[in-house]
């Protein structure tokens, strides 16, 4: 036995050195690849206590994972149980080289309590793995990656846990192992030992059984360690830094490109070499859980876009072209969108930028940074975009609105309402930024007029820009035309900085989002308020008097750019409930931060939808299923899309903006 012990020590040392060396080599390759890309990124590393708290809640607490209950609980059981086993496994590795090493000698009481906890939690790992296997073999949800890789990971983990129990069972049956009594610690393993009759075995058979279990356990762990960097379980390494570096605020601005950079060879994301290192970390962090795909309105309606597959496909493209990238042969790197590539133009242009993918992602991947940057490259460098956008871009360039109406008529919607202009009343407390939909779209103009009536009723000192107002730039930015977007943004910024309004209100969530979160990039930082929050505040101040009109029960549709993008969920609900005390507010199945897109975002409002089911039809069908006569929204695009969808479904549900409802419900 002495010879075997010596041989085991050398063999274990060799395995550990080899295993950890291969792991280090593979991880180093990933790090080199991540740092070889040339894209620039600006990250803030401040608010360290808040970031650590985020790690504790999102990683240790598994808060994001548990947003989907059964899969989340299964993952949590696997996570904590697997972690609990590892300190004992590390001790076993050390004992393989130094047989006399026993942690129990240091603190027997604490050590015994730990073993009891680990032995118990390991059972829950098997329960979690059982559910994971059930989902892949029985349920088979379409959004869940169900390849060999996933099954191998389940197998690896199961073998590690089962061999852990056998090591414990044999260890407690061996007399005098390190002078520590394991029988009081291994409750589950004790049952296993009794089941197989270990207590009645002789010492030789027990020793042989222990060594076999030991080697299976350790070698499987080392194999798993080597396998991780090339598998979907790479997220075990990348998720923690990715969560730590996530944006701390819910609001998000898309990447600003320096279009005046004369040294720039290209703009946007055209090749994997154009990625920035944070986006590569996003690729590494993906768990392929498919939650983003499940929530994506494009995927739900038969479009070729799956946020999960975009991340996975680009990651594999990065790995496939790693040689050229690491050798600095950028000219040899193939375009992202090319013949035979799974990342096609239809994939990129199916995105509504609703942000459902980012909101649900348990490891905080920024899918839109990738998709919108890829669009930017296609538009600015390849002039490749849906043909119907050509007219839209031309209209915005010439008349600063997507419909092409003369900008001179931007204030015609309110000619009979005596609405002051900022040029006439520059001291006005409130600037009402109307937006293109509110100025030119027939349905949007009705919303604007309703809001003006309410503001006047409340005695608000406000004015509009009129002809001085330009398109906010949101649609152009999300359509990839950064040059056009920045041109319109700069014009608005110059005007806003001239008047310096105390507060800006807008009825359009797209105007609200870009002016609040992206205009500061261009030197205009003002207080921006969406009309739902502003009207609620007027109501609380007693400046609006409900007339108790009977409005009936009302369903409410959350705008993506209001709810998910900016977290404004409660204000419109509270406003509607207060204004409609005689009726109920009914929420559809998908609401709040899981609300379903109307289909207009990401410039989709001005593109044809020819693939799969129309997104507005999908949403309208869900709203019609409430059986109500009225649905409220807080976005002119949503109102238009839902109105068209309900009409196409032969429904008789009226679609109203919150401003219109408040107009009806106030004296």
10-residue mean pLDDT series, the chain (667 residues): 86 96 96 93 81 88 87 92 94 91 82 91 95 91 85 93 94 68 82 89 91 96 94 90 84 86 90 95 94 96 97 96 93 94 96 95 94 97 96 96 96 95 95 97 97 96 97 96 97 97 97 96 96 97 89 95 94 94 92 94 95 97 96 97 96 96 91
Cβ-contact 95, 101 below 8 angstroms: yes
pLDDT at 43: 74
How far apart are alpha carbons 21 and 13 in whole angstroms? 12
d(CA 101, CA 84): 20
In angstroms, the CA 565 to CA 509 distance is 9
Q: Which residues on neighbouring strands pair with residue 270, listed in sequence order?
A: none
Question: Can you give the pLDDT at residue 1?
Answer: 54
Pair of tokens at residue 458: 């409340």
What is the reported pLDDT for 327? 93
Residue 547 CB neighbours (<10 A): 10
Residue 398 vs residues 39, 86, 488, 598, 604: alpha-carbon distances, Å: 32, 65, 11, 28, 21
3-state secondary structure of 239: helix
> Cβ(438)–Cβ(448) under 8 Å?
yes
Please give the pLDDT value at position 176.
54
Tell me if residue 355 falls in helix, strand or coil.
coil
Domain boundaries, the chain: 43-240, 389-665
Q: How many CA atoms lie within 13 A of 147 on its CB side?
A: 8
- The pLDDT of residue 83 is 93
Q: Are 380 and 483 in contact, with CB atoms under 8 Å apart? A: yes
Q: Which CATH class is domain 389-665?
A: alpha beta
């Amino acid at each position: 036995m002495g010879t075997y012990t010596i041989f085991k020590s050398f063999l274990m040392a060799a395995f550990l050195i080899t295993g950890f060396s291969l792991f280090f080599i593979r991880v180093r390759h990933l790090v080199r690849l991540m740092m070889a890309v040339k894209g620039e990124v600006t990250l803030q590393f401040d608010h360290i206590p808040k970031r650590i708290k985020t790690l504790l809640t999102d990683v240790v607490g598994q808060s994001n994972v548990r947003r989907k209950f059964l899969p989340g609980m299964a993952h949590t059981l696997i996570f904590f149980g697997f972690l609990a086993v590892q300190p004992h496994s590390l001790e076993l590795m050390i004992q393989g080289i130094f047989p006399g090493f026993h942690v129990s000698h240091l603190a027997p009481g604490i050590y015994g309590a730990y073993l009891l906890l680990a032995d118990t939690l390991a059972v829950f790992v098997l329960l979690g793995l059982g559910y994971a296997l059930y989902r892949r073999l029985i349920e088979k949800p379409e959004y869940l990656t169900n390849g060999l890789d996933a099954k191998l990971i389940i197998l690896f983990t199961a073998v590690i846990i089962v061999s852990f129990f056998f090591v414990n069972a044999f260890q407690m049956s061996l007399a005098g192992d390190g002078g520590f009594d394991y029988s009081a610690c291994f409750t589950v393993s004790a049952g296993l030992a009794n089941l197989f009759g270990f207590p009645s075995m002789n010492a030789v058979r027990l020793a042989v059984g222990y060594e076999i279990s030991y080697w299976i356990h350790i070698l499987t762990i080392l194999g798993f360690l080597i396998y991780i960097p090339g598998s979907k379980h790479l997220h075990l390494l990348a998720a923690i830094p990715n969560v730590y570096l996530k944006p701390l605020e819910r609001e998000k601005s898309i990447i600003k490109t320096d279009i005046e950079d004369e040294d720039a060879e290209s703009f946007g994301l055209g090749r994997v070499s154009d990625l920035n290192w944070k986006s590569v970390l996003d690729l590494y962090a993906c768990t392929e859980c498919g939650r983003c795909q499940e929530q994506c309105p494009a995927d739900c309606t038969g479009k070729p876009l799956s946020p999960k597959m975009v991340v996975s496909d680009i990651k594999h493209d990065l790995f496939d072209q790693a040689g050229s990238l690491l050798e600095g042969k950028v000219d040899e790197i193939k375009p992202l969108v090319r013949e035979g590539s799974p990342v096609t133009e239809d994939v990129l242009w199916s995105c509504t930028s609703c942000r459902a993918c980012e909101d649900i992602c348990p490891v905080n991947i920024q899918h839109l940074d990738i998709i919108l940057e890829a669009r930017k490259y296609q538009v600015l460098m390849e002039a490749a975009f849906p043909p119907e956008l050509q007219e839209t871009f031309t209209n915005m360039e010439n008349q600063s609105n997507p419909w092409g109406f003369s900008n001179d008529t931007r204030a015609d919607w309110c000619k009979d309402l005596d609405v002051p202009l900022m040029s006439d009343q520059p001291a006005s407390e409130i600037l009402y930024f109307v937006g293109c939909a509110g100025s030119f779209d027939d349905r949007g103009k009705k919303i604007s007029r309703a809001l003006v009536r309410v503001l006047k009723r409340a005695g608000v000192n406000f004015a509009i820009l009129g002809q001085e107002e330009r398109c906010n730039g949101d649609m152009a930015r999300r359509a990839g035309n950064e040059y056009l977007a920045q041109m319109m943004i700069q014009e608005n910024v110059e005007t806003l900085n001239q008047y310096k309004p105390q507060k800006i209100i807008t009825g359009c969530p797209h105007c609200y989002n870009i002016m609040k979160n992206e205009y500061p990039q261009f030197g205009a930082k003002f207080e921006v308020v969406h009309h739902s929050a502003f009207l609620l505040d007027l109501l609380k101040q007693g400046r609006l008097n409900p007339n108790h009109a009977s409005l009936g029960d009302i369903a409410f549709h959350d705008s993506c750019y209001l709810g998910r993008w900016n977290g404004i969920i409660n204000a419109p609900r509270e406003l509607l409930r207060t204004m409609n005390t005689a009726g109920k507010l009914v929420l559809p199945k998908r609401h709040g931060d899981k609300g379903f897109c109307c289909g207009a975002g990401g410039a989709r409002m001005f593109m044809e939808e020819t693939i799969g089911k129309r997104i507005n039809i999908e949403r309208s069908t869900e709203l019609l299923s409430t059986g109500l006569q009225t649905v409220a929204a807080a976005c002119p695009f949503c109102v238009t899309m839902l109105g068209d969808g309900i009409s196409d479904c032969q429904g008789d549900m009226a679609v109203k903006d919150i401003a219109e409802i408040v107009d009806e419900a106030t004296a």
